Structure 1
Amino acid sequence: MSNAVSALGGVAWSDGIAMVAEVPLQGMITLRGPLGDPKVKNAATGVAAVDMPAQGAANCVEYRGICWMSPDELLVLCPYDTVGPNLEKMRATLGDLHSLCVDVSDARAVFDVSGPLAREVMAKLVPVDLAPDAFTPGMFRRTRMAQVPAAFWLHEADRFRIICFRSQAQYVFDLLCTAAQKGSAVNIF
């Protein structure tokens, strides 16, 4: 059996106005079903060990969390090496409820953009109002980042976490580094 590796081998870049780094392997489980059903809520919160987020929000602590993806979809985050047992736990909790839970960990790449100007870097790339009073911790967006789909949230003060398809990891990393080049501060926030 081969060893799991991240999309870009843990690449990091810090020669600009913000730090860009690939996050180590992250466990990710897509959970689809009626979000108002207690079984769905219990399956998600039982694995992530956090409360269910509101619509358009993420509730994340370190490598655990729940991200609201759509009216019938959640992204459940857990440590990478616990995905298998967590899938079994979720399926047992869901029982015969019409639902789906699947491991998408290896199909995605995850990046952090951090530093006092991280908000500026992200604002150059996504069609979202990222003013501090408009985009606050816990808010979650699925959108486009230049030419590719991405999802992101303010993981903690001055640190965004971005999820993209693994096949687009190099493009997203290069895009983030370009937006964070020295001398590119706009000083809008």
Structure 2
Amino acid sequence: MSNAVSALGGASFAGLAKVTDTGLGGMITLRGDLASAKVQAAVKAATGAAVPDTRRIVFGDAGAAAWMSPDELLLLVEYERVDAVVAKLGEDLAGEHHMAVNVSDARACFAVSGEAAREVIAKVAPVDLDDGQFEAGTFRRTRFAQIAGAFWLDDAGTFHIVCFRSVAGYMYNLLCAAAHPQSKVGVYA
């Protein structure tokens, strides 16, 4: 059996902000009735987190739950635990209409950090990133230039991005171009 590797092998670029391929992350798409007590209990058991409000991500002691749509969450857990978590979700949600799928190997993960991280993201995603509009714990699905992706901001001011693995090279190059030292705009700095 081959070893799992991240899309870009930990590639990193430092410019106005630091862009990093953050490696393998365990990700599960969970669809179902998010208001259901059974779904809420299963999410809590899987991640230690509550079902998040619209456009939010909530962290627990074993992972995180991010709002994707009115009937969909993205659960983040350790890569090595994904299959076990999916199996447990199946047990916990037996009889409940749901879908839980391991999408870890179909995704790529990036981090954009540093003083100009907000500016870098704003150049490529049509999202209002003003401090009062986009704060730690905010989660958005959007487009990054020509591709779909999702991202959130953590308490340390780092943006985390998830996209399809098939477009990882495009995403990385896009973020690096936006972080190039000669591309400063200065809106958020």
> TM-score higher than 0.5 here?
yes
Which has the higher mean CA deviation after the structures are superposed, 39-48 or 78-87?
39-48
Q: Aligned equivalents of 1:130 and 1:12: distance in 2?
A: 23
Please give the residue correspondences for 1:58-73 in structure 2 after superposition, counting only pairs within 5 Å. Answer: 58-60=57-59, 64-73=63-72
- The superposition leaves residues 65-119 of structure 1 with CA deviations (integer Å, 9 ceiling, x where unpaired) of 1110000000000000001111111111101111100100000000000001100
Check conservation: 1:26, 1:63, Cα contact below 8 A.
no
Q: Aligned equivalents of 2:42 and 2:7: distance in 1?
A: 28
Which residue does 1:55 correspond to in 2? 54
Q: Aligned equivalents of 2:51 and 2:21: distance in 1?
A: 26
- Letter of the 1:60 counterpart: F
**TM-score, with structure 1 as normaliser:** 0.96
Matched, 1:124 2:123: yes
Which residue does 1:6 correspond to in 2? 6
Q: Aligned equivalents of 1:5 and 1:115: distance in 2?
A: 26
Please give the residue correspondences for 1:74-153 in structure 2 after superposition, counting only pairs within 5 Å. Answer: 74-153=73-152
Q: Aligned equivalents of 2:13 and 2:173: distance in 1?
A: 10
Query: Helix, strand or coil: the match of 2:65?
Result: strand
Using the aligned pairs only, state the percent identity.
48
Distance 1:62 1:25, change over 3 A: farther
Q: CA deviation at 1:62?
A: 9.1
Q: CA deviation at 1:157?
A: 2.9
- Letter of the 1:181 counterpart: H
Which residue does 1:40 correspond to in 2? 39
Structure 1: 5+ residue stretches without partners? none
Q: Aligned equivalents of 1:99 and 1:62: distance in 2?
A: 24
Distance 1:34 1:44, change over 3 A: same
Distance 1:106 1:171, change over 3 A: same
- Letter of the 2:38 counterpart: K
Structure 2: 5+ residue stretches without partners? none
- Letter of the 1:83 counterpart: V
Distance 1:82 1:101, change over 3 A: same
